Amino acid sequence: MGMTRKASGIYAFLEELRTSSQDYQAIVALAGNPNTGKSTVFNGLTGLNQHTGNWPGKTVVLAKGFYRHQGKQLALVDLPGTYSLLAQSVEEQVARDFICFGEPDAVVVVTDATCLERNLNLALQIMEITSQVIMCLNLLDEAKRKQIQIDREKLQTLLGIPVIPTIARNQDGLDDLKTAINRMVFGGESAHPRTVRYDHDLEAALTELVAELEASFQTRVNPRWLALRLLDSDYPLVKKIISYLNHNRRHTLKSTPQGVKL
């Protein structure tokens, strides 16, 4: 990006990832609720090629690993298990910051097929940030035992993102997942996630703010999500977003680096 950013939090983590001995062509983030078998998916994908690292400044441990598929080398970051990206816990902040400001090439949401509704809440929130989302529908064996049936194709259509069924414990479906990731990251196949529609007043405000953001900034993160958070978040996040925006000003416009301070 050509900017010097403070080497803290996410950027320090990414820097560490970049300077690690392993080469990789894309970064994929692994998100999901606690107890969805996310770690099993992570282990299944990376095998023994993984390290744990600290999120600088926070007491959250992140695992990162590498794997090769169809000739491509990928880095995988296991985010903390969270139910949401909206609340205040350190885990949720770390997960949220990585997904939006870390700009991973794709995000895999691991979901528990036995309680899809609760898991969808997180998936919808991630889909608001980026369109590069793949759902890994895990624990299908348990769902079967509990006589829960899921119409995968309909789910895929409704969500607008690839939904890959897996039983990570048995390595079932993990190859399909890798292929889906490659198609999205390297094959230029982009998803069109369903947009969550809010009430009329909020939508009106969003339209207004998004237009304003799009005029001045070009971001990989969905401007709609940025606008939404600018409206409903606390000051620290608003500050983070504005600083992120300032690093993504459109080049055609001259910004005023001096004299404008937060």
Partner 1 sequence: MSTNTVTNQNLFQRIRKLRERLGPNLRDRVVATLYRQAEEITSQVVQKNAAQRDLDTFIDNIVTSKILGLPLMLLMFSGVLWLTITGANYPSALLSKLLFGFEARLTAAFHSLNAPAWLHGMVVLGMYRTLAWVVSVMLPPMAIFFPLFTFFEDLGYLPRVAFNLDRFFKKAGAHGKQVLTMCMGFGCNAAGVISCRIIESPRERLVAILTNNFVPCNGRFPTLFAMAAILTGTLFGASHHLPATLFVTGIVISGIGITLIVSWLLSKTLLKGVPSSFTLELPPYRLPKIGTLLVRSVLDRTIFVLLRAVIVALPAGLFTWIFANQHLNGVSLLDLAAGGLQGFGRLLGLDGYIILAFILGLPANEIVLPILIMSYLSQGAMLELESITVLKELLLNNGWTWLTALNMSLFSLLHFPCATTLLTIGKETRNVKWTLLAAAIPTGVAIVVCFLVTQIAHLFNLV
Q: Is 200 in the site for partner 1 (CB under 8 A)?
A: no
Least distance from partner 1 to the Cβ atom of residue 40, Å: 20
The pattern of x and - marking residues 97 through 136 that bind partner 1 according to CB under 8 A reads -------------------xxx-xx--xx-----------
Query: What is the DSSP secondary structure assignment for residue 47, as one 8-state letter?
Result: T
Q: Between 12 and 124, whose beta carbon lies closer to partner 1?
A: 124
Q: What H or E segment, with its residue span, contains residue 76?
A: strand 72-78
**Under the criterion CB under 8 A, does residue 211 sit at the interface with partner 1?**
no
| Closer Cβ to partner 1, 61 or 231, answer by number | 231
Q: Are 235 and 254 in contact (CB under 8 A)?
A: no
- The verdict on 84 binding partner 1 (CB under 8 A) reads yes
Asked if 205 interacts with partner 1 (CB under 8 A), we say yes
Q: In terms of DSSP bridges, do strands 26-32 and 72-78 run parallel, antiparallel, or are they unpaired?
A: parallel
Q: Could you say which residues in the range 153-182 bind partner 1, by CB under 8 A?
A: 154-155, 158-159
Distances (CA, A) of 21 to 50, 53, 61, 75, 116: 12, 14, 20, 12, 38
d(C-alpha 49, C-alpha 65), whole Å: 6
CB of 59 to partner 1, least distance (A): 12
Give the residue from 173, 165, 170 showing the smallest Cα distance to 143.
165
Of 31, 184, 213, 221, the residue at the interface with partner 1 (CB under 8 A) is 213
**Residue 225 vs residues 84, 181, 203, 208, 238: alpha-carbon distances, Å:** 14, 23, 12, 13, 12
Residue 189 buriedness (CB in 10 A; 0-12 / 13-18 / 19+): exposed
Interacting residues of 192 by C-beta distance below 8 A, sequence separation 6+: 131, 160
- Shortest distance (Å) from residue 46 CB to partner 1: 28
Site string for partner 1, 131-150 (x = CB under 8 A): ---------------xxxxx
Q: Mask 232-261, x = binds partner 1 (CB under 8 A)?
A: xx----x---x--xx------xxxx---xx
What residues make contact with partner 1 under the rule CB under 8 A?
Answer: 83-84, 86-90, 116-118, 120-121, 124-125, 146-152, 154-155, 158-159, 196-199, 201-202, 205, 208-209, 212-213, 215-217, 228, 230-233, 238, 242, 245-246, 253-256, 260-262
